[in-house]
Amino acid sequence: MKPKGKATSFDIAHFAGVSQSTVSRALRNSPLVNEETRRRVWEVAKQLNYKVDKNASNLRTQQSSTLALLLFEDPTGDESQINPFFLNMLGSITRACAKQGYDLLVSFQSSSQDWRADYEDSHRADGIILLGYGDYMDYQSRLQQLLAQDTKFVCWGATVDGREDLTVSCDNYGGGKLAAEHLLQQNRSQYVFIGDASDHSPEFFARFKGFRDTLTAQGHSLSERQIANAISTEESGYHATRSLLANNIQFDALFAASDLIAIGALKALKEAGKDVPGDVAVVGFDNIAAASFISPALTTVQQNTTLAGQMLVNNLLNLIKGEAVTDTLLPPKLIVRRSA
């Protein structure tokens, strides 16, 4: 018994001696079908290595059991360098999807070029997860459009006032606070921040604010000159730190908006002959794998990617089901290692 090509439910029906409707019901374990019939159908299906045609069933049921992940890359461009933090997120999102019986379509967006948010329109996915740093201002309008089209989606990152989208994010403000408190405990006196302290990167901005507010509450100020701009790459962190040094800014405590930035800073400090943590204490953010490899091992604020991935897919699924969902804030955690 071998039909040519892939077996269909009609083939199963034929060999099991029942109607095609019954095959469909049996395979979906409908309580309507007789136990014995069900067994026979499954038996035949297995022998023919039958699998339900997802295109047909999706078309019929008007849903896809698939989620799409749009990953925004840093605008750096280097093809093969993806921020390890997002790669981790990707791993946990995939797993969370699998656990819920959903498949995951993945797409990388190189900046604003090729906006691929039509997965839902074309019925390929029931909803979309947006992930990435990048300049929020840039794709703000795209989000508005998704909202207008009633596309189901959830964003990783910062909640932005006046935006109606659903977000899951780390408590970045609280994370900045954790970093400041740790540094304060060591009686450091001159602080610097490296990252983007503007609303182009709401996440970095929140980390900055938590850091600054905590410092000022303890009587430490943070002037313009003690803030160096950097995007989330090692290189950018390296250059920002060098310019701080070149400008003769004095500091014994450095908070980087991401681990990649911190790693670049470590390199610049080493080159300048500064001892870490002796001369300068350094704290990063993310807890990527490299943070524990580097020397000195990096003290950093960890984001729980496993939980983040789960919340992202669970919230999206609830949104799709029409249930009430609210923004989620995940607690950060300080990981103390050698650098501070």
Partner DNA sequence: CTGAAAGCGCTTACAG
User: What is the binding site for DNA (CB under 7 A)?
Assistant: 5-10, 18-22, 24-25, 27-28, 31-35, 37, 50, 52-53, 56-57, 59-62
Could you say whether residue 91 binds a second copy (CB under 8 A)? yes
What 3 state SS string does the chain have? CCCCCCCCHHHHHHHHCCCHHHHHHHHCCCCCCCHHHHHHHHHHHHHCCCCCCHHHHHHHHCCCCEEEEEEECCCCCCCCCCCHHHHHHHHHHHHHHHHCCCEEEEEEECCCCCCCCCCCCCCCCCEEEEECCCCHHHHHHHHHHHHHCCCCEEEECCCCCCCCCEEEEECHHHHHHHHHHHHHHCCCCCEEEECCCCCCCHHHHHHHHHHHHHHHHCCCCCCHHHEECCCCCHHHHHHHHHHHHHCCCCCCEEEECCHHHHHHHHHHHHHCCCCCCCCCEEEEEECCCHHHHCCCCCEEEECCHHHHHHHHHHHHHHHHHCCCCCCEEECCEEECCCCC
In whole angstroms, the minimum distance from the beta carbon of 24 to DNA comes to 3
Nearer to a second copy, 144 or 218 (CB): 144
Nearer to a second copy, 51 or 225 (CB): 51
Nearer to a second copy, 57 or 159 (CB): 57
10 binds, among a second copy, DNA, none (CB under 5 to 8 A by kind): DNA
| Site for a second copy, residues 43 to 62, rule: CB under 8 A | 49, 51-56, 58-59
Distance CA(205)–CA(222), nearest Å, equals 14
Could you say whether residue 115 binds a second copy (CB under 8 A)? no
Nearer to DNA, 9 or 172 (CB): 9
In whole angstroms, the minimum distance from the beta carbon of 336 to a second copy comes to 18
Contact characters 219-248, a second copy, x per CB under 8 A: ---------------x--------------
In whole angstroms, the minimum distance from the beta carbon of 237 to a second copy comes to 12
80 binds, among DNA, a second copy, none (CB under 5 to 8 A by kind): a second copy
87 binds, among a second copy, DNA, none (CB under 5 to 8 A by kind): a second copy
Distance CA(255)–CA(159), nearest Å, equals 22
In whole angstroms, the minimum distance from the beta carbon of 207 to a second copy comes to 21
**Are residues 329 and 302 in contact, defined by beta-carbon separation less than 8 angstroms?**
no
Could you say whether residue 6 binds a second copy (CB under 8 A)? yes
106 binds, among DNA, a second copy, none (CB under 5 to 8 A by kind): a second copy
- Which residues contact a second copy (rule: CB under 8 A)? 6, 49, 51-56, 58-59, 64, 66, 79-82, 84, 87-88, 90-92, 94-95, 98, 103-108, 114, 116, 118-119, 121-124, 149, 234, 263, 289-290, 293-295, 305-306
